[in-house]
């Protein structure tokens, strides 16, 4: 092939294949294409609410609302009287935990359920909570974390105690179960907690009389002294992994705690413990669904009783869409309750969202002139609301922390959500009855399901409760954003002015196809080109490899340092020092390695060295983002939004300077490199924290302690945000800085 | 000459009668194959459909051993069933379809396409018991009712497989070749049911489906107590029609087909009568949905029975009263025993009614005299017909 190409005697070159020509055209116009790809990606994100489809119940078996709810007025009375009794008990007793537990055990036993208590302590690797702008009460700062986790698990006596009741389904085999969770905090027990537990009891006793149960009902009342999540997670852990090693010690510990907490006031409780084996951890079948609910006092919004739904699990894992659909359809169509997705209040007030919505509306007005039937835009207010919902959900997913105790279920691949019912102070009974019927309806529908939730989407965003954006739609903007990275990388490797011969064309084509596979490209290039190029490739690979290794080390250092027992501030300083030092080491090693390489360095190769570094950086970043999109999509989306302009726009300052002073001036080119430079500086390891501080400094209490605690909690919750920042963003930003500051040879081309 | 014409007339009559026997309604036995092909709780209505049909054909006289009932799932014992061991087809819950006397032949995962086709064609493993076989012959009228989830040219079995319309057509062809039926009525209540019988080609088959291609068959109503829909529309209106039907009814297939109202069904029924020989307004519904046979009483058997009755008139004795006592130790009331005692009059009357109309006349004459007179008359007519120059000739 090379021979035919170099053959000068042929006056007419053989026509390249269509794919080759396409590749050549792509590379020829790569700047325009990547610019439009990026813009199209951003626009695609903005029109996501318009692409959302109506939700529908996909699973036939669910039949939501097909059965009449048996929850009646007497059950409502039971809920209210129980709440009143609980409040009375709590006010009489000093030890709230004991009073509530005793009451729960007695009431659960009275309904004929299997009842037991689950004492636990905060595990050594306690999941500390964190606060971010939308802290909604699910999370509490746990600054005393270090002191609590001081001792080993065995040495620590359990300090919290959850109460569990199980209704065995009368006609079923008992191999499946539904878990209802009503959290209460003994340290913060008041009217709402009593109401939640009262409703829990009313529902539980109603379900204990249901003949239609095909799944066991487990009522878990977690002691949320350390937060709801750790309590539920702890119970689930023991449910699925019985502690085999220390059974006897565990048992003794449990009994000790039980005696301590329950039998202080007489013989009867002692008998209760002994006779009913309250300490035995009893199980039902495979947990198919989890439903966390709590009742909150509040005002009716717009004359409608509302339920707030939290669904985001760890790293943005969502429960099956059918679950939300069932909850929604029963609420709306049977009980005339309104569901509300939790949104961040700040986002709704963003004025630019409304502006964008109005722009779309105007565009639609114009298009309607041409084709009257074509209507795509939402009303600006709806658009802003949907976008706020979408962004809030994305934000929760980016943080990577579950938005409630349902996240603990997600770790076991159990679909769960948290519902918060708003109970007005007036007309309480009426709303309580609605809530009871709604919950019973949801449970009956879930009970109809045959296996796990499987029919509907797991990968989706909700822009409203009846509007979903499936994975097939939301991957398009991401694809558009990331597409320009491999294209640019290919263009950098094979500049078009050299792409005259067929040889290069073939390579171009192959590089386009394999553009994300840098290694393959390198080998191909080594084979095709001379030794000069391979030298600069090797140099670039060593550099990028060194920076990537450094980034991994930085992540590892964070993990190691977080295990030490010092103050957060010291840890942060420690880590920063280690990271800075190791960066120096990485660059030294890189210099040493490249210096020891013996190859003939031509001027041409040296001139182009930054382009090769940039090409490799682009390739690596594209791969990283693609991988991240499978782990936590919103993180990868925000990564693409921030990293792509930086990667594409970065040029050495010298290069930009020369370009600006060269004869061929182009406003677009100057603007592009200016934007690239500014963006690179803004996203750099120093620029980004400064940027965040300047924008959100007044909202968040940013100090070194909080930053470190936040990072540590991300680590403990296994949030994908931390690896993204440390392993994808950090090396990319450092490499871009390197490119920005890299020196060109003194002579002009 | 007259006698010759008499003889010819007799012959023609006999021939006519024979001809009618081969083409007319003179089937000798009835079979019903009732299939519910879908499982899972939310398909409760399919089982209720099938059980309702089962009840109907049983009420109209098809015995249990001539009904093959295939139920792909057991809704009665489903844990979600609020009424354990009961199945209803109406939200009023007045009729439990799953009473004490239901004989399910193929249950649960036994309901497969393979088993269904084996049942139709009679190609069973030797170990399959008689109760699971369709032991029909060329004089059998078979009712085949199927319900489940269907689509274009198929019917789903068990959420795992489906039967194609061609499979069904070929199975019927094989049945025809093997003389396994005389007439076959196929009734299908599924979505796009008409497509299922579009490929049929065997003679003697009449097929009716609940919906056209592209149409759904809808459920009739939801039972909010049980929490599921309990019956499909097509079956519901079919049952409604049959509820007013007696075993001796002369209602024809035509009138059943006319009752289906597309507005009520929300779908259009479709039937195929091109393979079916008889006009629909002459086909009694009981030819398929019941077991009503033409019974011919022959004189001799009746007489013998009458003689038996005369000789052995039953006289209950005192010992017999013991037999009629209930096994539980309840104080025996004299009146009830008297009721239980069959009196001679009652016995004879009962038997007379069975023996038929000849009985009452014959009782008044001596048997030998009657036989003698009849024999003489027969002999005279015989001789007169054979011997033209008989002195008896008038």
Q: Which fold has domain B26-289?
A: Rossmann fold (3.40.50)
Pair of tokens at residue A599: 């190859």
Sequence-ordered list of residues with C-beta below 8 angstroms from that of A273, at least 6 positions apart, any chain: A255, A258, A259, A262, A263, A279
DSSP character for A169? Answer: P
Of A60, A173, A448, the CB nearest to B80: A448
DSSP character for B284? Answer: B
Q: What is the average per-residue pLDDT within B236-247?
A: 90
| pLDDT surpasses 60 at B311 | no
Interface list for chain B against chain A, based on CB atoms closer than 8 Å = 40-42, 77-84, 222, 224-229
Reported as a pLDDT band with limits 50, 70 and 90, residue A635 is: very high
User: What 3-state DSSP class applies to A302?
Assistant: coil
Q: Between B139 and A269, name the one with better pLDDT.
A: B139
Any CB–CB contact under 8 A between A213 and chain B? yes
Q: Do residue A67 and residue B229 have CB atoms under 8 angstroms apart?
A: no
- Extract the runs of DSSP E, i.e. beta strands, from chain B: 29-36, 67-71, 106-107, 140-147, 150-151, 154-157, 161-164, 183-189, 205-209, 219-223, 228-232, 270-272
Chain B hits for A447, Cβ within 8 Å: 80
Instruction: Out of A133-137, B145-149, B279-283, B322-326, pick the least confident.
Output: A133-137
| pLDDT surpasses 80 at A659 | no
Q: What is the average per-residue pLDDT within A279-283?
A: 83
Pair of tokens at residue A324: 């939300």
DSSP character for A163? Answer: E
Instruction: Out of A8-17, A402-411, B306-315, pick the least confident.
Output: B306-315
Mean pLDDT of chain A: 81
Sequence-ordered list of residues with C-beta below 8 angstroms from that of A118, at least 6 positions apart, any chain: A161, A162, A163, A164, A234, A235, A238, A281
In chain B, where the domains are located: 26-289, 301-386
Query: How high is the pLDDT of residue B387?
Result: 62
pLDDT digits (tens, 9 = 90+) for A298-314: 877 777 788 889 998 88
Instruction: Out of A50-64, A242-256, B140-154, B261-275, pick the least confident.
Output: A242-256
Q: What is the average per-residue pLDDT within A498-510?
A: 42
Q: Assess whether A460 and A547 both reside in one domain.
A: no
Q: Do residue A172 and residue B79 have CB atoms under 8 angstroms apart?
A: yes
Q: How many domains does chain A have?
A: 2
Pair of tokens at residue A432: 């309580």
**Quick check: is A273 in a domain?**
yes
Give the separation between CA A385 and CA A390, rounded to whole angstroms.
Answer: 9
Reported as a pLDDT band with limits 50, 70 and 90, residue B126 is: very high
Residue B45, min C-alpha distance to chain A (Å): 13
Q: Do residue B81 and residue A450 have CB atoms under 8 angstroms apart?
A: no
Any CB–CB contact under 8 A between A70 and chain B? no
| pLDDT surpasses 80 at B94 | yes
| Residue tagged 């709303």 (tokens) | A431
Sequence-ordered list of residues with C-beta below 8 angstroms from that of B340, at least 6 positions apart, any chain: B321, B324
**Quick check: is A691 in a domain?**
yes
Q: Do residue A171 and residue B42 have CB atoms under 8 angstroms apart?
A: no
Give the separation between CA A454 and CA A127, rounded to whole angstroms.
Answer: 29
Query: How high is the pLDDT of residue A45?
Result: 93
Q: Do residue A66 and residue B228 have CB atoms under 8 angstroms apart?
A: yes
Reported as a pLDDT band with limits 50, 70 and 90, residue B349 is: very low
Give the separation between CA A200 and CA A223, rounded to whole angstroms.
Answer: 14
Number of A/B CB contacts below 8 angstroms equals 53
Instruction: Out of A308-312, B225-229, B305-309, pick the least confident.
Output: B305-309
Reported as a pLDDT band with limits 50, 70 and 90, residue A261 is: low
The residue annotated as part of the active site, out of B191, B197, B220, B268, is B191
Reported as a pLDDT band with limits 50, 70 and 90, residue A534 is: low
Chain B hits for A68, Cβ within 8 Å: 224-225, 227
Cβ-based burial of A75 (10 A; exposed 0-12, middle 13-18, buried ≥19): buried
Any CB–CB contact under 8 A between A66 and chain B? yes
Q: Do residue A169 and residue B228 have CB atoms under 8 angstroms apart?
A: no
Strand partners, B184: B142, B205
Instruction: Out of A241-245, B47-51, B250-254, pick the least confident.
Output: A241-245
Residue A169, min C-alpha distance to chain B (Å): 8
Percent of residues, chain A, with pLDDT higher than 70: 80
| pLDDT surpasses 90 at A417 | yes
Q: What is the average per-residue pLDDT within A432-437?
A: 92
| Residue tagged 């066991």 (tokens) | A216
Q: What is the pTM of this model?
A: 0.79
Q: What is the average per-residue pLDDT within A137-156?
A: 38
Query: How high is the pLDDT of residue A438?
Result: 94
pLDDT digits (tens, 9 = 90+) for A59-70: 888 999 888 889
pLDDT digits (tens, 9 = 90+) for A450-467: 888 888 899 999 998 889
Residue B151, min C-alpha distance to chain A (Å): 16
Q: What is the average per-residue pLDDT within B172-176?
A: 95
Domain of A710 in residue numbering reads as: 530-749
Of B77, B83, B227, the CB nearest to A444: B227
| pLDDT surpasses 50 at A249 | yes
pLDDT digits (tens, 9 = 90+) for A17-49: 888 888 888 888 888 899 999 999 999 999 999
Query: How high is the pLDDT of residue A182?
Result: 94
Our answer to whether residue B191 is catalytic in this structure is yes
φ/ψ of residue B132, rounded to 5: -100, 10
Give the separation between CA A570 and CA A566, rounded to whole angstroms.
Answer: 7
Pair of tokens at residue A34: 């990547």
Q: Do residue B80 and residue A214 have CB atoms under 8 angstroms apart?
A: yes
Listing DSSP states for A329-350 in one string gives HIIIIIS--EEEE---HHHHT-
Percent of residues, chain A, with pLDDT higher than 90: 33
Pair of tokens at residue B348: 């004879």
Element (H, E) at A418: strand A415-423
R_g of chain A computed on alpha carbons: 31
Chain B hits for A448, Cβ within 8 Å: 41-42, 80, 227
Q: Between B76 and A706, name the one with better pLDDT.
A: B76
Query: How high is the pLDDT of residue A197?
Result: 94
For an interface test with B, give the residue of A442, A448, A449, A454 to mutate (most B CBs within 10 A).
A448
CB B172 within 8 A of CB B202: yes
Query: How high is the pLDDT of residue A258?
Result: 67
Instruction: Out of A86-100, A600-614, B284-298, pick the least confident.
Output: A600-614
Q: Are strands B150-151 and B154-157 parallel, antiparallel or unpaired?
A: antiparallel
| Residue tagged 């938005």 (tokens) | A403
| pLDDT surpasses 60 at B228 | yes
User: What 3-state DSSP class applies to A168?
Assistant: coil
Reported as a pLDDT band with limits 50, 70 and 90, residue A502 is: very low
Query: How high is the pLDDT of residue A154?
Result: 41
For an interface test with A, give the residue of B39, B44, B80 to mutate (most A CBs within 10 A).
B80
**Quick check: is A486 in a domain?**
no
Query: How high is the pLDDT of residue A693?
Result: 85
Our answer to whether residue B149 is catalytic in this structure is yes
Q: Assess whether A449 and A535 both reside in one domain.
A: no
Domain termination residue (choose one: A465, A480, A504): A465
Pair of tokens at residue A154: 């065995």
For an interface test with A, give the residue of B38, B42, B224 to mutate (most A CBs within 10 A).
B42
Query: How high is the pLDDT of residue A337?
Result: 86
CB A680 within 8 A of CB A543: no
Of B79, B84, B224, the CB nearest to A66: B224
Q: Do residue A68 and residue B41 have CB atoms under 8 angstroms apart?
A: no
Element (H, E) at B23: helix B2-23
Any CB–CB contact under 8 A between A68 and chain B? yes
A window 460-489, beta carbon within 8 A of B:
none
Query: How high is the pLDDT of residue B367?
Result: 74
Q: Do residue B42 and residue A444 have CB atoms under 8 angstroms apart?
A: no
Q: Assess whether A534 and A455 both reside in one domain.
A: no
Instruction: Out of A154-163, A262-271, A334-343, pick the least confident.
Output: A262-271
Q: Do residue A212 and residue B80 have CB atoms under 8 angstroms apart?
A: yes
Q: Between B200 and A606, name the one with better pLDDT.
A: B200
Q: Assess whether A447 and A569 both reside in one domain.
A: no
Reported as a pLDDT band with limits 50, 70 and 90, residue A339 is: confident
Nearest-by-CA chain B residue for A212: B80
Strands in A467-470's sheet, in edge-to-edge order, are A53-54, A467-470, A460-464
Residue B119, min C-alpha distance to chain A (Å): 30
Pair of tokens at residue B13: 């009559």
| pLDDT surpasses 60 at B362 | no
CB B67 within 8 A of CB B34: yes
Q: Assess whether A74 and A162 both reside in one domain.
A: yes
Q: Assess whether A440 and A582 both reside in one domain.
A: no
Q: Between A693 and A506, name the one with better pLDDT.
A: A693
Reported as a pLDDT band with limits 50, 70 and 90, residue A601 is: low
Q: Do residue B226 and residue A67 have CB atoms under 8 angstroms apart?
A: yes
The residue annotated as part of the active site, out of B27, B46, B66, B149, is B149
Instruction: Out of A105-119, A200-214, B196-210, B353-367, pick the least confident.
Output: B353-367
Residue A175, min C-alpha distance to chain B (Å): 12
Q: Assess whether A441 and A553 both reside in one domain.
A: no
Strand partners, B31: B142
Q: What is the average per-residue pLDDT within A728-740?
A: 92
CB A138 within 8 A of CB A404: yes
Model-level ipTM above the cut of 0.90: no
| Residue tagged 């081309």 (tokens) | A749
Chain A hits for B83, Cβ within 8 Å: 211
Look up the CATH number of the domain holding residue A461: 3.40.630.10
| pLDDT surpasses 60 at A135 | no
Residue B285, min C-alpha distance to chain A (Å): 36
Reported as a pLDDT band with limits 50, 70 and 90, residue B344 is: very low
| Residue tagged 């002994």 (tokens) | A274
| pLDDT surpasses 90 at B364 | no
Q: What is the average per-residue pLDDT within B183-201?
A: 93
B133-165 as b/e: b if 16+ CB within 10 A: ebebeeebbbbbbbbbbbeebbbbbbbeebbeb
Chain B hits for A212, Cβ within 8 Å: 79-82, 227
| Residue tagged 């029963």 (tokens) | A330
First vs last Cα of chain B: how many Å apart? Answer: 12
Residue B226, min C-alpha distance to chain A (Å): 6
Q: Between A156 and B97, name the one with better pLDDT.
A: B97
Domain termination residue (choose one: A440, A465, A490): A465
Percent of residues, chain B, with pLDDT higher than 70: 73
Q: Assess whether A446 and A536 both reside in one domain.
A: no
Q: Between B214 and A120, name the one with better pLDDT.
A: B214
Query: How high is the pLDDT of residue A596?
Result: 74
Q: What is the average per-residue pLDDT within A382-409?
A: 90
Give the separation between CA B364 and CA B370, rounded to whole angstroms.
Answer: 10
CB A622 within 8 A of CB A482: yes
Chain A hits for B225, Cβ within 8 Å: 67-68
Query: How high is the pLDDT of residue A120?
Result: 81
**Quick check: is A541 in a domain?**
yes
Give the separation between CA A381 and CA A366, rounded to whole angstroms.
Answer: 19
């Amino acid at each position: 092939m090379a021979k035919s190409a170099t053959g000068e005697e042929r006056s007419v070159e053989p026509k390249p294949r269509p794919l080759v020509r396409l590749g050549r055209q792509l590379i020829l116009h790569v700047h325009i294409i990547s610019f439009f790809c990026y813009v199209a990606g951003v626009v695609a994100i903005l029109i996501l609410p318009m692409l959302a489809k109506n939700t529908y119940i996909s699973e036939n078996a669910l039949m939501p609302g097909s059965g009449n709810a048996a929850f009646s007025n007497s059950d409502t009375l039971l809920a209210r009287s129980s709440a009143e009794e609980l409040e009375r008990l709590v006010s009489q007793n000093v030890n709230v935990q004991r009073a509530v537990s005793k009451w729960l055990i007695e009431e659960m036993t009275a309904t004929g359920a299997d009842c037991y208590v689950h004492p636990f302590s905060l595990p050594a690797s306690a999941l500390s909570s964190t606060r971010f702008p939308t802290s909604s009460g699910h999370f509490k700062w746990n600054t005393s974390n270090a002191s609590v986790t001081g001792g080993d698990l065995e040495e620590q006596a359990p300090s919290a105690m959850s109460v569990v009741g199980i209704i065995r389904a009368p006609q079923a085999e008992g191999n499946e179960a539904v878990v209802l969770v009503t959290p209460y905090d003994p340290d913060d027990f008041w009217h709402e907690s009593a109401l939640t537990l009262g409703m829990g009891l009313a529902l539980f006793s109603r379900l204990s009389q249901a003949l239609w149960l095909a799944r066991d009902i487990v009522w878990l009342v977690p002691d949320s002294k350390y937060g709801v999540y750790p309590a539920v997670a702890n119970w689930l852990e023991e449910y699925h992994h019985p502690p085999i090693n220390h059974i006897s010690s565990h048992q003794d510990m449990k009994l000790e705690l039980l005696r301590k907490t329950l039998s202080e006031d007489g013989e009867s409780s002692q008998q209760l413990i002994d006779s009913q084996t309250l300490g035995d951890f009893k199980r039902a079948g495979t947990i198919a669904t989890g439903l966390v609910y709590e009742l909150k006092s509040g005002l009716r919004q717009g004359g409608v009783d509302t339920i707030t739904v939290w669904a985001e699990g760890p790293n943005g894992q969502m429960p099956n869409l059918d679950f939300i659909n069932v909850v929604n359809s029963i609420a709306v169509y049977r009980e005339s309750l309104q569901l509300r997705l939790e949104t961040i209040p700040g986002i709704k007030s963003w004025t630019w969202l409304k502006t964008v919505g109005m722009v779309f509306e105007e565009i639609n007005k114009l298009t309607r002139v041409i084709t009257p039937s074509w209507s795509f835009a939402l009303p600006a207010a709806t658009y802003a609301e949907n976008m706020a919902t979408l962004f809030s959900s994305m934000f929760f997913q980016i943080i990577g922390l579950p938005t409630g105790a349902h996240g603990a279920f997600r770790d076991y691949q159990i679909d769960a959500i948290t519902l918060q019912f708003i109970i007005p102070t007036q007309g309480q009974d009426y709303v309580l009855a609605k809530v009871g019927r709604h919950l019973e309806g949801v449970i009956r529908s879930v009970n109809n399901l045959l296996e796990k939730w499987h029919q509907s989407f797991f990968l989706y965003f909700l822009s409203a409760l009846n509007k979903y954006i499936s994975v097939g739609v939301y991957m398009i903007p991401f694809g558009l954003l990331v597409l320009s990275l491999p294209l640019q990388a290919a263009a950098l490797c094979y500049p078009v002015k050299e792409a005259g011969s067929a040889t290069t064309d073939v390579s171009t084509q192959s590089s386009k196809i394999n553009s994300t596979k840098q290694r393959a490209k390198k080998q191909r290039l080594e084979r095709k080109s001379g030794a000069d190029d391979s030298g600069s490739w090797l140099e670039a690979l060593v550099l990028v490899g060194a920076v990537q290794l450094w980034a991994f080390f930085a992540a590892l250092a964070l993990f190691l340092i977080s295990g030490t027992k010092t103050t957060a501030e010291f840890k942060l300083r420690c880590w920063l020092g280690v990271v800075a030092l190791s960066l120096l080491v990485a660059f030294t090693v890189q210099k040493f390695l490249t210096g020891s390489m013996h190859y003939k360095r031509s001027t041409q190769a040296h001139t182009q060295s930054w382009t090769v570094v940039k090409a490799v950086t682009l390739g690596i970043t594209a791969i990283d983002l693609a991988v991240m999109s499978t782990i936590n999509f919103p993180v990868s989306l925000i990564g693409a939004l921030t990293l792509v302009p930086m990667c594409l726009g970065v040029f050495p300052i010298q290069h930009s300077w020369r370009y600006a002073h060269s004869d061929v001036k182009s406003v677009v080119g100057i603007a592009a490199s200016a934007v690239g430079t500014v963006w690179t500086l803004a996203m750099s390891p120093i620029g980004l924290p400064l940027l965040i501080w300047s924008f959100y400094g007044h909202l968040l209490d940013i100090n070194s302690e909080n930053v470190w605690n936040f990072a540590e909690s991300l680590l403990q919750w296994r949030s994908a945000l931390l690896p993204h920042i440390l392993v994808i963003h950090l090396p990319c930003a450092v490499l871009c800085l390197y490119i920005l500051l890299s020196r060109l040879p003194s002579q002009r081309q | 000459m007259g006698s010759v014409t008499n003889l010819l007339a007799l012959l023609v009559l006999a021939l006519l009668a024979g001809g009618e026997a081969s083409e007319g309604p003179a089937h000798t036995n009835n079979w019903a194959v009732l299939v519910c092909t879908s499982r899972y709780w939310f398909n409760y209505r399919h089982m209720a459909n099938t059980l309702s049909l089962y009840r109907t054909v049983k009420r109209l006289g098809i015995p249990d051993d001539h009904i093959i009932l295939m139920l792909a799932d057991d809704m009665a014992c489903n844990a979600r069933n609020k009424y354990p061991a009961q199945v209803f087809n109406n939200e009023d819950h007045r009729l439990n379809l799953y009473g004490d006397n239901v004989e399910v032949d193929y249950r649960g995962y036994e309901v497969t396409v393979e088993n269904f086709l084996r049942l139709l064609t009679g190609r069973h493993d030797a170990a399959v018991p008689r109760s699971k076989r369709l032991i029909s012959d060329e004089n059998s009228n078979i009712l085949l009712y199927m319900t489940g989830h269907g689509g274009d040219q198929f019917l789903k079995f068990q959420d795992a497989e489906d039967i194609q319309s061609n499979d069904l057509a070929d199975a019927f062809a094989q049945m025809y070749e093997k003389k396994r039926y005389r007439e076959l009525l196929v009734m299908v209540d599924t979505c796009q049911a008409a497509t299922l019988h579009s490929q049929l080609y065997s003679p003697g088959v009449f097929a009716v489906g609940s919906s056209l291609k592209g149409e759904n068959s809808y459920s009739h109503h939801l039972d909010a107590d049980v929490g599921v829909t309990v019956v499909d529309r097509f079956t519901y209106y079919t049952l409604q029609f049959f509820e007013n039907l007696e075993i001796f009814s002369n209602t024809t297939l035509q009138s059943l087909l006319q009752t289906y109202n597309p507005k009520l069904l929300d779908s259009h029924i479709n039937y195929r009568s091109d393979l079916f020989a008889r006009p629909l307004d002459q086909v009694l519904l009981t030819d398929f949905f019941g077991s009503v046979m033409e019974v011919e009483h022959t004189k001799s058997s009746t007489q013998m029975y009458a003689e038996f009755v005369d000789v052995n008139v039953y006289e209950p004795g005192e010992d017999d009263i013991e037999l009629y006592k209930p096994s539980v130790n309840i104080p025996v009331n004299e009146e009830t025993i008297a009721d239980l005692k069959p009196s001679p009059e009652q016995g004879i009357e009962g038997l007379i009614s069975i023996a038929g109309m000849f009985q009452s006349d014959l009782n008044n004459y001596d048997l030998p005299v009657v036989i003698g007179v009849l024999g003489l008359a027969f002999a005279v007519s015989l001789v007169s017909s054979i011997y033209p120059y008989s002195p008896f000739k008038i």
